[in-house]
Amino acid sequence: MAAVQPEQNQRTRAGDDDVAVVTKQWAQWSLEEEETAFAPVGDEGQAEEGVEETWKVVGRFLTQRMVKLEFMRQVLASVWQPVRGVQVTEIQRGVFLFVFFHRTDVDYVLDGGPWAFENNALVYRELPPNTSPGEVLLNTIDMWVQLHDMPLGYTSQTVLEQAGNFIGTFVKHDDRFEGAPWLTFHRIRVSIPVDKPLRRRMKLLKRDKTTAWVTFRYERLHRFCFYCGLMGHLYTFCIRARDSGIPLERYPYGPDMRAGGSRSAPRAVGDSWLVLVGGRPRLIEMGSGVTGVVATRPSCAVPVRGGMDAEEQVEATGKRRRQTESGGRGTEFEGEDVVMQEGSKNLSMAGAVAQPRPSS
């Protein structure tokens, strides 16, 4: 019996060696099969007939909250008003794909931003052909930045481009007023990283070795922190702001970073026609003995242009908007009063929403 036991052990070791050899050979065969190229059959690489041409934009919002897809798509579609429509889907958690069906629609969205939903900025980029949405870096926002207090002799396009690269990455100039003898500010388009604090100003070293401060104002600047200067959150939710113990009025940033300053309360443009609850309409004489009914607040009358006839229309002057680059829809313009239109609060969520500094 003692002689049989070593013989069985030898047979067991020989069997294990055979299994190891077969396993190694099978692994090699599997690796060789994986390296074999797969060639699709019957695919010419051409688009199918009748397939609609589309342009795609991928984006995410600077927020930790869940974005309500149906609500968001309704708001942005109402603001963009694409002539051929837009499809909005959530392809990953917090990452959205916007599909347009006309080149002018996607150009308007790309050039007219930044956009926002519920005051949360949309970080977006056009999806190149044959590119996966996961390959697109969503870490910058293109914004129009106003450069105030630029000294004379330092407003060339070269200097403005260098200033844009100081803020972020220069994109383009606003050449609508190029050659004007005097401008209160100069305007450039800059790609701004969302993971770095906003620049407040720049110390410009002039040729005579003196310095001048150039102040930055950001158009359509949405939610950002008054303490750390990062976009995407408020100082009330900033751990660094809470740990600092600094009072609000000493925070380095504020609402003056936005072009145009803080938005005040709505103008009383409709008070002339409103009747307060419990009030009574007032009768006044209109021309040759004609009596009409108006609201009881004559002191808040809205100024009109020229005299009033029965055929003329009263215009309520509203806030000033910046003129579009191509004379079309979109960006705001200064210098001309326009008729104030009623707008839904939901629609204003996608535009420039003010963040007034609360009292301490």
b/e burial code for range 235-270 (CB count within 10 A of at least 16 → b): beebeebeeeeeeeeebebbbebbbbeeeeeeeeee
Q: Is 44 helix (H, G, I), strand (E, B) or coil?
A: coil
Determine, yes or no, domain membership for 252: yes
Q: What is the DSSP track for 200-256?
A: -EEEEE-TTS-EEEEEEEETT--SB-TTT--BTS-GGG-HHHHHH---GGG-S--GG
Instruction: Please name which of 348, 329, 60 lies closest in space to residue 220, comparing C-alpha atoms.
Output: 348
Using CA atoms, how far residue 174 sits from 152, 228, 260, 325, in Å, is 18, 29, 18, 8
pLDDT greater than 70 at residue 8: no
pLDDT greater than 80 at residue 17: no
125 and 107: one domain? yes
Model confidence over 196-232: pLDDT tens digits? 999 999 999 999 999 999 999 999 999 999 999 999 9
Sign of the four-CA dihedral 67, 73, 75, 77: positive
Are the beta carbons of 221 and 230 closer than 8 angstroms?
A: no
Using CA atoms, how far residue 31 sits from 17, 19, 28, in Å, is 21, 18, 5
156 and 190: one domain? yes
Task: Give me the domain span that covers residue 285.
Answer: 271-300
Determine, yes or no, domain membership for 262: no
**In this predicted structure, what is the pLDDT of residue 196?**
93
Angle between helical axes of 69-80 and 103-112 (0-180°, round to 10): 100
Determine, yes or no, domain membership for 358: no
pLDDT greater than 70 at residue 147: yes
Are the beta carbons of 63 and 81 closer than 8 angstroms?
A: no
**pLDDT average, residue stretch 226-242:** 91
Residues 79-85: contacts with CB under 8 Å, at least 24 apart: 79/115, 79/347, 79/350, 79/351, 80/105, 80/108, 80/109, 81/329, 82/108
170 and 231: one domain? yes
213 and 162: one domain? yes
Determine, yes or no, domain membership for 247: yes
Read off the DSSP letter of residue 135: G
Q: Is 33 or 117 the better-scoring residue by pLDDT?
A: 117
Note if the bond before 114 is cis, omega within 30 degrees: yes
**In this predicted structure, what is the pLDDT of residue 351?**
60
**pLDDT average, residue stretch 10-24:** 64
Instruction: Please name which of 240, 239, 242, 200 lies closest in space to residue 221, comparing C-alpha atoms.
Output: 200
**Contact partners, residue 169, CB within 8 Å, separation at least 6:** 140, 190, 191, 192
**In this predicted structure, what is the pLDDT of residue 343?**
47
**pLDDT average, residue stretch 23-49:** 63
b/e burial code for range 305-339 (CB count within 10 A of at least 16 → b): eeeeeeeeeebbbeeeebbbeeeeebbbeeeeeee
Amino acid residing at 188: I
- Rounded Cα distance between 129 and 268, Å, is 50
pLDDT greater than 70 at residue 245: yes
196 and 292: one domain? no
Determine, yes or no, domain membership for 206: yes
Are the beta carbons of 59 and 122 closer than 8 angstroms?
A: yes
Say which CATH number the domain at 61 has. 3.30.70.330
147 and 219: one domain? yes
152 and 252: one domain? yes
pLDDT greater than 90 at residue 279: no
Residue at a domain's end among 135, 158, 178: 135
Residue at a domain's end among 245, 280, 300: 300
246 and 146: one domain? yes
Residue at a domain's end among 106, 135, 164: 135
Model confidence over 177-194: pLDDT tens digits? 777 767 889 999 999 999
242 and 275: one domain? no
**In this predicted structure, what is the pLDDT of residue 29?**
64
Are the beta carbons of 61 and 76 closer than 8 angstroms?
A: no
Task: Name the pTM for this structure.
Answer: 0.61
Q: Is 349 or 328 the better-scoring residue by pLDDT?
A: 349
Instruction: Please name which of 211, 212, 213, 226 lies closest in space to residue 258, comparing C-alpha atoms.
Output: 226
Determine, yes or no, domain membership for 219: yes
Place of tokens 């060696």: 17
Model confidence over 56-81: pLDDT tens digits? 999 999 998 888 888 998 999 999 99
**In this predicted structure, what is the pLDDT of residue 141?**
93
Determine, yes or no, domain membership for 245: yes
225 and 242: one domain? yes
Are the beta carbons of 360 and 350 closer than 8 angstroms?
A: no
166 and 198: one domain? yes
Residue 336 main-chain phi, psi, to 5 deg: -145, 130
Are the beta carbons of 61 and 120 closer than 8 angstroms?
A: yes
162 and 191: one domain? yes
Model confidence over 283-333: pLDDT tens digits? 555 555 544 544 443 333 333 333 334 333 333 334 444 444 444 444 443
- Count the domains in the chain: 3
